[in-house]
A and B are shown apart, each in its own frame.
Chain A
Amino acid sequence: MEQRTRDRYIRNIERVANVTIDEVGNGDGLEFYKEVYQEAFCNFDQTNKKYIGSYCVMIPDEIIYALGYVPLRLCGGHRIPALIGEEMVPRDACPLVKASAGFHAMKVLPMYNQCELAIIPMTCEGKRKSAEVLSDFLPIIPVPIPMSKDNRAFEETVNIVTALIKTLEYQTGNKITKRSLKKACIDIGTAQQQAYLLQQKLYSLNPQIKGSEVMFAINSSCFVHPKDWTKATKELLSLIDEKEKTAKELRRPKPRVYIAGSPISFPNFKLPLMLEDLGAQIVGDESCLSGRLMYDPVVPNDYSIVSMVRALSARYIAACTCPVFDNVEDRLCSLKTKLELSKAEGIIYHVLRGCVPYDFELAAVEEFADKHDIPLLRIETDYNIEDMEQVKIRFEAFVEMIEQRRRNR
C-alpha cells in the first residue's frame, strides 16, 4: 500500500511540475530555467551534493555558500505534497506550509532528502509551528526574527544572524571565512543585478518577455548556483535586447497588471498564466519567491565579516516587506515605486488561503490603491485547480474593466 502511494506520488509530482514547465518554459531563451526545474522536480536520483535548506526569504544564501554547502529555498508550491501535508497540519494552514511538510514526509525529492538541515525563520504562525512538524524529518534551526523595524530591532537582527552563523559552523564543522563570504556576496550580487535588469524589461510599453516567464526565471534561482543563473540570464537579457530592437509599438497595448500579495512559487503559476491567457500583461509582482527574491542588492561598507553580516541582515531581514512585521509603511513605499515604474493599471491581490498576514494588510493596500486610483482585485485561492473557472470570471471582468477605464480617459 505504502509503495503504491509512493508511486502515485512520484508520478504526480512529475506531472504537475511538467504541466507548468510546458506552459511557461517554452518561450525563447528559457531552456536553462526549464532544465533547472526538471532537475529539481522530475529527477529522483540521489546525488552526493550536500544541501542546507531554508524557508522564507530572510535567510541569506551567502552564509550557506560560504560554509561550502549548496543552499535551497524549500517553500513548496506544489499541490501534490500539499495533499500529503493536509494530514500533518491543521486544515486552515496555508498550502505552502502543507506542501513543505508533504515534501519532507514523502522523502522522494533529492533536494529535500539531501538536506542536512533546514533553517526556519519564525516569521508567520505557519512557519513557526511547522518548525516543530518538520523536526520529525531533519534537524531544524529555528531563527527568531524581531518583528519591528527600529534600530534596536536591527541590532538584535545582526546578533541573531551572527548567532545563526555560529550554530551553522558548529553543526557542519565548517568555518566561514572572510574570503568565502565575500565570494558568495559577489556571486549572488551579480545574479541580483541581472534579476533587476530582467524585471525592468517588463516596464517597457511592449515587453518582449512575459511576466510569467520572468517569475519562472527568477523563482528558479532557488535551485541553482547563482553563477550559472547569471550566465543564463545574461543570455536571456541579450536575446530580449535583440527583440526590442525590432519590436513595433502596439496599437492596443495589453492591460498592465501588477500581482501583489502572498507568494507564488513553482509550479503554482495558475494566477499569472490565467491572467496572461485573458490578455493581461503582468508588469511585476511582489511575491517573495520572484519579484522580491532578488530585487535589492547587499551593500556592505567593506568586506570585513562584521560589515558583511550587517549588510546581509539589513538586506534580508530589515528590508523585507513581508506583512509579518509590525509596520506596513515600507511595503507601501516599495509598492508605490514599482507601480509607478511598471505603469501598472490594476493590482491583483493574491491571498493564499490561510495566509493571514497578507490578508490583514489588504485593507491598507486597498486604501493605498484607491488613493492612487488603481483598481484592485482580491483573489483568495490555493494550489488546487478546482476554482479556476470562478477566478477566471473575475480576472476577465478585471481585464475588461481596465480597458474600459482606458477608453473613458
Chain B
Amino acid sequence: MGNYYLGFDGGSTYIKAALIKDNEVVAVKVMPTGIDNDATADAMLEYLTQQANITREDIAFINATGYSRRSISLADDTISEITAHAYGTRITAPNGVKPSMIIDIGGQDSKIIALDDNGGVKNFIMNDKCAAGTGKFIEVIAGILETTIDKVAEHSAESKSPCQINSTCVVFAQTEIISLIAQKKDRCDILCGMHISMANRIAKLARKYKGSGQILMTGGGALNEGLRLAIEDELMCDVYPAVYPQFNGAIGAALIGAEQFQQA
C-alpha cells in the first residue's frame, strides 16, 4: 500500500477528484456529476491512477465530500464540505497567504467560512435563499447572452459602463436581462453588472466575518476573474484566488483522509 490519498468532492454540477501524496497535489480531474456517481467516480479513479502511474493499491485512503458524498461507494469515509474546504486551504492557499476567511462559490451554493489561527473552522454561513450568488446564476445568464461560463470574465473586463442588475433571484434576473437586451445594452456591460450584483450579495454574507485577516476564494467561482475583482471592489480588500480553486474541497477531503489513516 502506497502513501497516496484520494479525495472526491461530489458537487451539484461537477464531481472533482484530487490525488495527493506528502501533502502535495499529484493529479486532479473534474467531470460533470451526471446521474451515475459511482461510474463517474470509477472513471476518475482510473484516470488519476494512470496519470500518476500508480495502481489502485497505492491509494491508502479515499475520502468523499460534497452533496453526493454518500453515493460515492468507493470512498472509505465522508466529511462535510465545510470541514473539507477549511482543510483544503492548507495546500491551496498561495504562498504567503494565511487565510482567515474562505469565500467558496460553488455551482448551487456559496459559503463563507471563518477560520481560526490553526486553520480550523471557526464559524460559517451559507446562502440560504436560492441560487443567487452561485455558479448556476452565472451559467444561466451566460446562456441568455449566448456565451459560456469560461468567457464571462473576459467580456466583463471590457465593460466601461456596467448595467445595474437588481434581482438576485435567477428567474427574476433573467427577466431583467432580457429587458436590458431589448434596450440594446452591451453584453460586456450586462455581464459586468451581473458580477457586481453577485459580489454585492456575497459581500453581505462575508462582511460578518471579515476581520483584518486574508481572504481566499475557492470553488469554481474563483476561476472567474470578473467575479473575484467585483468581490474585491465590494469588500475593499484583496481576495486571493486559491491554487486549484475548484479542487479545494477534494484536496481537503484527501488531506483529512490522510490524517485519519495515519492516526488509525
B-binding residues in A (CB < 8 A):
375-378, 380, 387, 390, 393-394, 396-397, 400-401, 404-405, 408
Contacts and interface: CB of A to CB of B under 8 A. Distances in A.
A394 B83 contact: no
A390 B81 CA distance: 13
Interface in B166-194: none
B123 A397 contact: no
A393 B80 contact: yes
Contacts of A375: 122-123
Nearest to A394: B126
Given A375-B122, A408-B118, A400 B128 contact: no
27 contacts: A375-B123, A377-B123, A377-B124, A378-B125, A380-B128, A387-B128, A393-B80, A393-B81, A393-B126, A394-B124, A394-B126, A396-B80, A397-B80, A397-B81, A397-B121, A400-B79, A400-B80, A400-B82, A400-B83, A401-B120, A401-B123, A401-B124, A404-B83, A404-B121, A405-B120, A408-B116, A408-B120
Contacts of B121: 397, 400-401, 404
B133 to A, nearest CB: 14
A396 B81 CA distance: 9
A369 to B, nearest CB: 9
Interface size class of B (residues with CB under 8 A): 10 to 19
Interface string B117-151: 01011111110100000000000000000000000
Interface in B56-73: 67
B62 to A, nearest CB: 18
Contacts of B128: 380, 387, 390
A401 B82 contact: yes
A380 B125 CA distance: 12
Contacts of A390: 126, 128
Nearest to A402: B121
Given A390-B128, A394-B126, A404 B81 contact: no
Interface string B83-108: 10000000000000000000000000
Contacts of A387: 128
Contact of A404 (B67, B120, B126): B120
Nearest to B208: A366
Contacts of A378: 125
B83 A401 contact: yes
A359 to B, nearest CB: 14
A375 B81 CA distance: 18
Interface of B: 67, 79-83, 116, 118, 120-126, 128
A396 B69 CA distance: 13
Given A376-B123, A380-B128, 17 more contacts: A375-B123, A377-B124, A378-B125, A387-B128, A390-B128, A393-B67, A393-B81, A393-B126, A394-B124, A397-B83, A397-B124, A400-B83, A401-B82, A401-B120, A401-B121, A404-B121, A408-B118
B108 to A, nearest CB: 11
B82 to A, nearest CB: 3
Nearest to A380: B128
Contacts of A408: 116, 118, 120
Contacts of B124: 377, 394, 397, 401
* Chain B CB within 10 Å, residue with most, of A393, A394, A397, A405: A397
Nearest to B126: A394
A404 B80 CA distance: 12
A387 B128 CA distance: 9
Nearest to B67: A393
Residue in B120, B126, B128 with the greatest tally of chain A CB atoms within 10 Å? B128
Contacts of B118: 408
A273 B210 CA distance: 33
A370 to B, nearest CB: 9
A377 B113 CA distance: 12
Contacts of A396: 80
A397 B128 CA distance: 15
Contacts of A405: 120
A73 to B, nearest CB: 31
Contacts of A401: 82-83, 120-121, 123-124
A77 B245 CA distance: 43
Contacts of B125: 378
Contacts of A377: 123-124
A375 to B, nearest CB: 6
Contacts of A394: 124, 126
A380 B79 CA distance: 24
B170 to A, nearest CB: 17
Contacts of B123: 375-377, 401
A401 B128 CA distance: 19
